[in-house]
Amino acid sequence: MSQETQATPESPAGLTHRQILTVLSGLLLGMFLAALDQMIVASAMKTIADQLHGQTLQAWATTAYLITATVTTPLYGKLSDIYGRKPLYLAAISLFLAGSLLSGMANSMYELAAFRAVQGLGAGGLMSLAFAIMADMISPRERSRYSAYFMAVFGTSSVLGPVIGGLFAGLDSFLGFAGWRWVFLVNVPIALAALFVVAKVLNIPHQRVDHRIDYWGALSLITGLVPLLIVAEQGREWGWASSTSLAMYVIGAIGLIAFVFVEYRMGDEALLPMRLFRNHTFALGNTINFVLGIGMFGGMVSLPLYLQIVKGVSPTQSGLMLLPMMLGIMSSTAVSGRITAKTGRYKIFPVVGSGMMAAALILLSRVGTDTPTWQVMIVMFVMGAGLGQCMQTILVAIQNASEPRDMGVSTSSATFFRQIGGTVGTAVFLSILFSTVGDKIGENVRAALQTDAFRAALAQNPQFAQALKQGGAGVDLNNTEFLKHLDPVLARPFLDGFSSAIDTVFLTGGLVMIAAFLLVWFVREIPLSEKSGLQRAADTESIAV
């Protein structure tokens, strides 16, 4: 008998708290690997693109990672139901390790994009499989209590990521390698530690679910999602109504229609069985996950831009200033988890949480250039507290309503729909920002030209004055570094314009979260099971026998 199929003394009847924490240590290392990498790369990508002489191509490095991570998420869920969580989790870490090594050796942006795609192949399983393994070990009622550990990983990576990314990006070399290469190479020791720990401690029984692998479903899903994810990232550059974008829409739509058709034909063998959508909690929960993904990125994308452009702080400082949001997420997750474990009630948390997120985003839409940073950070905490009540609770509700045989695919679906929502949200909100910022800056510049102070400052800066005459708003908004060296009087209309455009994004995010708030009211609060996925699977097997 293999090591994975050997149950611990209390399996499948249940694992002790000590055993759960032991397994949890391996899962958290894997999740930390993916979360930290995203934050480090995001803060260092501009420097990396400069080093590889591909500033205009940098979006492809992000897009390639996003595509493979999103597409493989449901694949990991289905394959882990068949072959077990442990081998798939080890495979995910190994792929991420290989992608990190290759990315650290890239010599062009095209190579980096290809190697980041390999990283994404691993990242697709690191998050979803960790939550599926937790569902196997812990009952839905007790699961919320452990969610704070996962939120602590996200919080820690959010603080450390920008600091580490900024540090390595600023080094000319370290241990014989260019500083920016360590943005990826730093993953290697973490991945090796995760491989060792997971291989040693992740010893939980697996009840194999015999399925055929839905290759046609995977192919049609790739055909549907890849063009849509590409246009979501590149549409602003191409033009949303350009012939290239229209071709992507058509190919994506054909792929998604084919995916639904194939999944209906495959039945229980499907990558994402259509019967799951007849489950009210599964269907509504993932709809909420999608809308939540859109709304939450209204804040996640815009807050760093507000802090860096309008307030003039560095990427590292802006990452640290997001700490109140992380504290809000961790504290609310811990409190809501303990209350859920004690009472078995959970619907109130996503109701309150989505309401808090909507309120926070609407409050953020009122911030301006002169708004004190401490006020913004208080609202960040409120937003984080709302998000912490939503993410894990919706996931637990979906897992609780799913059959043990579908635990992997149900868990991965929650991550999948939230990622798709986040991608759509990022594309939409950035499009709103950059399509409105030029007009808003222009309005502010025209108003400033009526003041003596602005005209006097303009007279002292003839080159800038000439730029304004030539191009309306007058400057390349793809690079806002000039604002740091510009006379504050001349910079003010630009800061006000950016602030106003970002306010529009926050308001749009708030409206999306109001939609999520209304949807959450329709969730049916099914009593939480007090049995883990392993126990429920054992009960099902005994009944069948």
pLDDT in tens, 293-329: 888 876 777 887 788 788 887 766 777 787 888 888 8
Kindly calculate the radius of gyration of the chain based on its CA atoms and give it in whole angstroms: 24
Cβ atoms of 59 and 184 closer than 8 Å = no
pLDDT over 90 percentage in the chain:
15
pLDDT level of residue 533 (50, 70, 90 thresholds): low
pLDDT level of residue 274 (50, 70, 90 thresholds): confident
Q: Quick check: 106 pLDDT over 50?
A: yes
pLDDT of the residue at 418: 84
pLDDT in tens, 428-476: 787 788 778 878 888 888 888 788 887 887 777 777 777 666 654 445 5
| Lowest mean pLDDT across 2-11, 145-154, 257-266 | 2-11
pLDDT in tens, 107-162: 888 888 899 999 999 988 888 888 888 877 777 777 767 777 777 777 777 667 77
**226: Cα separation from own chain's centroid:** 17
Q: Which residues pair with residue 174 across a beta bridge? A: 177
pLDDT over 70 percentage in the chain:
85
* More confident call, 372 vs 2: 372
pLDDT in tens, 362-408: 999 999 888 898 999 999 999 989 988 888 888 888 888 877 777 77
Burial state string for 494-530 with b = 16 or more CB within 10 A and e = fewer than 16: bbbbbbbbbbbbbbbbbebbbbbbebbeebeeeebbe
What is the chain's length?
545
pLDDT level of residue 6 (50, 70, 90 thresholds): very low
Nearest to 77 by CA among 119, 127, 139: 127
pLDDT level of residue 71 (50, 70, 90 thresholds): confident
Q: Using CA atoms, how far apart are residues 424 and 293, in angstroms rounded to an integer?
A: 8
Long-range contacts of 236-239 (CB under 8 A, 24+ apart): 236/427, 236/430, 236/431, 236/434, 236/435, 237/59
**30: Cα separation from own chain's centroid:** 15
**458: helix, strand or coil:** helix
pLDDT of the residue at 364: 92
pLDDT level of residue 66 (50, 70, 90 thresholds): confident
**97: Cα separation from own chain's centroid:** 20
Instruction: Classify residue 377 as exposed, middle or buried by CB count within 10 Å of its CB (0-12, 13-18, 19+).
Output: middle
Q: Full-prediction pTM beyond 0.85? A: no
Q: Quick check: 5 pLDDT over 60?
A: no
Helices 488-520/348-364 angle, 10° precision: 160
